[in-house]
Structure formats: structure tokens, C-alpha cells
Amino acid sequence: MRELVRTNDAVLISAVEALLKGAHIHHMVVDQNISVLEGSIGIFPRRILVGDDEVDTARTLLENAGFAREIWRDGR
């Protein structure tokens, strides 16, 4: 699995998930349960991961949808 997006923005996570689901790209959102530790204030980012074999397709999808700035590229 490779990291595609890292953000605190719940709306962005929902939008990216909708795009990935619509394109049938398998993904997972991790770090969602960290809110228990942070008190639900949203300071820790959530990460969207995709399979190694789908990362290029997912990046292209997000770029075409106008989310190019949100794509996590090794170290940002």
C-alpha cells in the first residue's frame, strides 16, 4: 500500500474516497480512530492508502479532478 493523501480535512477525505470508489480503485483510510486520543479536534491527519499497482491510476484520477496539490509524494 502507498500513501496517496494525508489531510485533516474530512470533506477532502470524503471527496477523494468518492472518486476512488467511482473508479473502482481499492483504498483504505487509516488513522481515523486516532480521534479518540486527540479528543476529536482533528489535529492528526488521516491517510488514504491505495495498492502499489493502482497508485499511478489514483494519482492521475486526482490530478484530473483538480486535487493535484493534495497528492502525497514521498515526503510531500
Could you report the per-residue pLDDT of 10-60, keeping only the tens digit for each?
Answer: 899 999 999 999 999 999 999 877 766 656 666 788 999 999 999 999 999
pLDDT at 71: 95
What architecture is the 2-70 domain classified under in CATH? Answer: 2-Layer Sandwich (3.30)
Looking at residue 76, its pLDDT comes to 56
Contacts of 20 (CB under 8 A, 6+ apart): 27, 48, 50, 58, 61
- So what's the pLDDT on residue 44? 82
- Structure confidence at residue 64 as a pLDDT band (50, 70, 90): very high
In the prediction, which pLDDT does 4 show? 97
